[in-house]
Amino acid sequence: MTAGGSHRGAPGNRHEQAEEPAAAQPRPEPVTPRPPRAHVAVLQGFVGSVLMFVGSIGTGWIASGSPMVRHPVVIALRVEGWGVYCSTVLLTVGAMLLVRSWLRLGQRLQDWPAGAHRTVLLAVCAWSLPLLFAVPIYSRDVYAYIGQGRLLLADQNPYTTGISTLENWFMLGADPAWAEARTPYGPHFLWAARAIVALTGAQPDLSVLLFRLLACAGVLLCVLYVPRLAQLHGVDPARALWIAVANPLFLISFVASAHNDALMLGLAVAGTYAAATGRPIAGVLLVTASIAIKPITILLLPFIGLLWAGPKASWGRKFGLWAATAALSLGVLLLSGLPYQLGTGWVWALVDPTPGFTGYSPSGFLSQRVDHVADAVGLPGGRLASALRSALQYTAIGLVLLLMFRGDDRRVVRRLGLAFAAVVLLSPIIQPWYILWFLPFLAVTGIKDNWQIRSLYIVITFFVIFGAQDQLSVWPFIELPVDASTIAFVTALAFTAYLILLDPHTRHLLVRGGPVRRLARRRPRR
C-alpha cells in the first residue's frame, strides 16, 4: 500500500458503449465517497499533538522572565526527575505518533477520492491546535525575535547590534548565540517584531503567541495556494497539501516553534501562484515581501521573471523581464529600508553566511569523511574539507544558473523547486526546517510514489527524531541519572523500529514489501 499517486487520474475512455433502453430506470444520484476511515488517522494525530503540548510544559523552552516558571505544575514537571522524564517521553511519543498519523492519513487517502482535500485540511487544523498553545519546542528562535523587536523599539539597528546590549536580555529566553549576532532577517519582519514587542511590552508568553499567529498567517497562505499551484500542474491538490503542509515537521517547525520561515514561505508560494496565473507584478511584490521576511527567497526572482516572460519567450524578452523583476523588487526593498534607518543591512545574510557546518548535511558529512581520511594519510584534512564544502556551494550556484537558462518553459515552478533544493542540500549548514523551503514547490509539481516519497518519509522522520532529542530544555541544576536527551533518543528509536519492523500498516513504506519480506527474498533457495 502506498500513499497515493502523484497525478490526478483521468476518466477512462467510453468506446462502443451500448445504448440504454428507452424504458431504463433513472439512475440514482451519485454519492460522494467518504475517505475510508481517514478520521482515525486525524484523531490519532490530534492525540499526538496533545501529548506534545503536555510534554512541552516540562521540556519546552520557557523564558526565565515568564510567570509560568512559578506555577506549581510547571515547577513539578521541570524540577522533579519524574516530571522531566515523563515530559520527555510524552513529547517524543507525541511527535512520533504524529509522524505515524501523517503516514496513515496518506495511506487511507491513497486514491485521493472526493472529500480528501477537506480531510487533509481538517488534519492540519486538528494537529496544529494543541501546538499553537504549547511551550516553544524544537527551537527557541522565537525568543530572539523578541530581542530584535526590543532593539528596534530602542532605536538600535539589529543589523549591527546584538541583543546583549539590552538590559536583562538573558531573561528573554533567547539562545546565547544571539547575544552578539546580527539579525539575518528582512526589514518587514523587523517591523512586525517591533510592533509585537510594543504591543506586549516584551512579555514573553504573549509575545510568543503573537509571533505564532504571524507564523500561522504563513501556514494559511500555504494551505490556500499549495492546492491551487498543484491544480495548475495536474497534481492532486489534496495530496500536495498532505505532503507539503500536513507533514509533522512543517507543523512542529512553523506552529510550535513559530519560525518566521512560515511567513516567508507562504508569501513565496502565493507570489509564485500569482506569477503563474498571469499576475506577474503581484507575484514580484509578494516574493519581495517574502525576501523582506527572510532574504533567502531572493533565489525565486529569476524564476518569477521566467513565469512573467511566459512559454517560448525570446531571450531578449527573458532578459528584459529579468531586469524588470530585479528593478521592481530592489526598489521595494530599498524603500523598505528607510523606516528606522535599516538600509540594506539584510544583504549581509546572503554574502556572509554563518561559518561552520552541520554533520548531517551532505556537505558536512562528506567533508568530515575527507578530513578524517586526509589526516590519516598525512594530508591537510581541514583545508581539503573546507575546499570541498566551498566546491559544493559553488556547485549549487552553478545548478541554479543551469536551471535558470535551461529547461522546459512549462515547468518553471519545478525548476524553481529544484534550484531551491540544490541551494539547501549543498549548503554546509542545514537546519531541519530548511527542508520545508523547497518541499511545496516539488509537491505541487509531483512527487512520485517510489524512492521520491520514501526519501521524504525518511527525511521527515529523521528531523522529527533529531529535534526531539536535540532541543530539550532541562534546567542545568537538575541532576538526572540518565540524560533526558538519551531518553528521548531511545524512545524515538524504539518507536521508529516499531514503524519499520512491526507495524503492519507502515513497515513497508520505507522498504518496499517490508524489511522482513525483503530479507526473505534475498535468501538463496536450497
Distance (Å, rounded) from C-alpha 188 to C-alpha 294? 9
Range of the domain at 368: 355-428
* Of 202, 293, 269, 278, the residue nearest 420 (C-alpha): 269
In the predicted structure, residue 244 carries a pLDDT above the cut 60: yes
User: In angstroms, what CA-CA distances link 56 with 5, 62, 136, 485, 518?
Assistant: 36, 9, 7, 14, 39
Residue 411: inside a domain = yes
Q: Is residue 381 part of a domain?
A: yes
The predicted model gives 61-65 an average pLDDT of: 91
Q: Which three cell numbers stand for residue 76?
A: 513539578
For the chain, what is the total number of helices (H) and then of strands (E)?
Answer: 21, 0
Q: Is residue 522 part of a domain?
A: no
Task: Spell out the residues 6+ positions from residue 100 whose beta carbon is closer than 8 angstroms to its own.
Answer: 44, 48, 495, 499, 503, 506
Least confident piece of the model among 30-39, 419-428, 498-507 = 30-39
Whether 406 maps to a domain, the answer reads yes
Calpha distance 430→131 (Å, rounded) = 24
- On average, the pLDDT of the chain sits at 89
Between 395 and 17, the more confident residue is 395
Q: What is the dihedral of CA 152, 154, 160, 164, to 10 degrees?
A: -110
Question: Taking a C-beta distance cutoff of 8 angstroms, is the pair 77, 87 a contact?
Answer: yes
Residue 9: pLDDT band by 50, 70, 90 thresholds?
Answer: very low
State residue 477's pLDDT score: 85
pLDDT mean over 66-93: 94
Report the number of distinct structural domains present in the chain: 1
Name which of 107, 369, 372, 50 is nearest 239 in CA terms: 107
What is the torsional sign of CA 300, 305, 308, 310? Answer: negative
Give residue-wise pLDDT tens across range 196-240. Answer: 999 999 999 999 999 999 999 999 999 999 999 999 999 999 999
pLDDT of res. 355 = 75
Residue 209 lies in a domain: no
Domain membership of residue 419 (yes or no) is yes
Choice between 328 and 38, residue whose per-residue pLDDT is larger: 328
User: Residue 426: CB partners within 8 Å, gap ≥ 6?
Assistant: 362, 363, 392, 393, 395, 396, 399
pLDDT for 180 equals: 86
The predicted-structure confidence for 294-309, as pLDDT tens digits, reads as follows 999 999 999 999 999 9
One-letter identity of residue 86? C
400 occurs within a structural domain: yes
| Inter-residue contact 164 to 180 (CB < 8 Å) | yes
Higher pLDDT, 168 or 100: 100
Whole-model pTM?
A: 0.89
SS3 9: coil
Q: Do residues 160 and 81 touch, judged by C-beta distance below 8 A?
A: no
Candidate ranges 57-66, 160-169, 438-447; pick with highest mean pLDDT: 438-447
The 10s digit of each residue's pLDDT in 432-470 is 999 999 999 999 999 998 999 999 999 999 999 999 888
Give domain status of residue 383, yes or no: yes
